């Protein structure tokens, strides 16, 4: 949707977000928390909605022209616009809002949506407290690629990667732009080889950070610890499937993918706001560890290396939280019944 926004808004939106989370995290933390307060949100919402309609005016025009049978949104901005469209009557199609955070911030609240899909029982309860009609709330999880639910031939894939079956495989990533202490975290893990020879190996995913990819590709050539380095890839389901641990930031999608893979999480970077709440949820249920410094990351990896029972317990906890069938459940349990009850437009 942002690609259809006026002027260079999409670029400004992305760069502003990165500036805040990388260099002014306290501003992001404060604004996220304040806007999640009932009174402040209700005061700001009328202005926000007018702003959202300005940004989304091309989307609104397209919805009025194409007259879809159903609208599914996975971001809070179009969720607000489409919910308002239902209330105002210009949007006739049922609207399904899929909350892709573990915590439904007030910005996600879509009182006039026909269905709101939540990721956790706690999210369902919060949506109800915030006025969403209970019959319209569905617990289905965060939709991810079905590939994260498919088995992987670990022996074959590790052989293709020229990695060992006998070492603990640690997948290290930090989103598309490697926020946080990504390079220092990788170095801290590489530095474990002299202390724990023959015990660890790394899969390092650098996303769109070409400099980090070049640095670690060069380092891998001479490293005593086996290491495979990637940039932006579409093999995450496969790489998670052969890994024993993941070191990552606490983004909702990555967390959901790791849980679907029953993969213990070491959360090395937690952006204030939604990611702090994602991390708290995972840790509270025993599937993850928060390790905000490179030293704490390496200590957590060593602890889990030495304690296979804890790794097993964390995998079991991740299994209880995760599931790769959210997309299919949303279609079968939410969208299909709405379509069945909605007259088709000619």
- Per-position pLDDT tens, the chain of length 346: 556 666 666 666 667 766 666 667 778 788 888 999 999 999 999 999 999 998 888 889 999 999 899 999 999 999 999 999 999 999 999 999 999 888 899 999 988 999 999 988 999 999 999 999 999 999 998 999 989 989 999 999 999 999 999 999 999 997 766 666 889 999 999 999 999 999 999 999 998 888 999 999 999 999 999 999 999 888 999 999 999 999 998 888 889 999 999 999 999 988 777 888 889 999 999 999 999 999 999 999 999 999 999 999 999 999 888 777 888 999 999 999 998 887 665 5
- SS3 call for 104: coil
What are the tokens at 263? 């993969």
Reading the block at residue 313, the tokens are 């317990």
Q: Is the Cβ–Cβ distance between 297 and 268 less than 8 Å?
A: yes
Where exactly are the structural domains of the chain? 2-143+326-340, 147-321
pLDDT value of residue 94:
94
Q: Could you give the C-alpha distances from 102 to 142, 255, 280, 281, in angstroms and in order? A: 8, 10, 10, 8
pTM of the predicted structure, to 2 decimals: 0.85
Domain 147-321 class in CATH: alpha beta
CATH entry 3.40.50 includes domain 2-143+326-340: yes
Residue 66: how many other CB atoms lie within 10 Å = 9
Instruction: Name the burial class of residue 10, with classes exposed (0-12), middle (13-18) and buried (19+) by CB atoms within 10 angstroms of its CB.
Output: middle
The reply to whether 2-143+326-340 and 147-321 are identical in fold is: yes
CB atoms within 10 A of CB 223: 14
């Amino acid at each position: 949707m942002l690609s259809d926004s006026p002027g260079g808004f999409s670029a400004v939106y992305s760069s502003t977000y990165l500036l805040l989370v990388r260099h002014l995290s306290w501003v992001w933390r404060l604004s996220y928390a304040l806007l999640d307060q009932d009174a402040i949100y209700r005061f700001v919402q009328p202005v926000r909605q007018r702003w959202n309609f300005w940004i989304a005016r091309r989307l609104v025009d397209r919805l009025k022209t194409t007259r879809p049978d159903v609208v599914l949104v996975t971001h809070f901005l179009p969720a607000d616009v489409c919910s308002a469209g239902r209330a105002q009557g210009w949007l006739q199609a049922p609207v399904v809002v899929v909350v892709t955070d573990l915590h439904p911030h007030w910005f996600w609240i879509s009182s006039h949506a026909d269905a709101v899909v939540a990721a956790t029982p706690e999210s369902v309860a919060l949506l109800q407290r915030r006025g969403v009609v209970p019959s319209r709330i569905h617990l289905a999880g965060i939709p991810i690629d079905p590939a994260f639910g498919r088995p992987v031939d670990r022996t074959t894939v590790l052989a293709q990667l020229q990695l060992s079956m006998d070492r603990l495989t640690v997948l290290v990533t930090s989103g598309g732009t490697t926020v946080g202490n990504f390079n220092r975290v990788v170095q801290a893990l590489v530095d474990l080889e002299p202390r724990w020879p023959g015990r660890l190996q790394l899969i390092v995913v650098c996303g769109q950070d070409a400099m980090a990819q070049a640095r670690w590709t060069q380092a891998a050539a001479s490293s005593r610890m086996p290491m495979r380095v990637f940039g932006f890839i579409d093999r995450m389901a496969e790489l998670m499937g052969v890994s024993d641990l993941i070191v990552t930031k606490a983004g909702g999608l990555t967390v959901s993918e790791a849980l679907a893979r029953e993969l213990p999480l070491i959360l090395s970077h937690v952006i204030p706001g939604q990611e702090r709440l994602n991390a708290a949820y995972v840790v509270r249920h025993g599937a993850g560890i928060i390790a905000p410094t490179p030293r704490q990351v390496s200590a957590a990896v060593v602890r889990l290396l030495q304690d296979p029972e804890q790794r097993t317990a964390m995998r079991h906890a991740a299994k209880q939280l995760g599931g790769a069938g959210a997309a299919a459940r949303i279609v079968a349990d939410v969208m299909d019944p709405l379509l069945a009850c909605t007259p088709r437009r000619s």
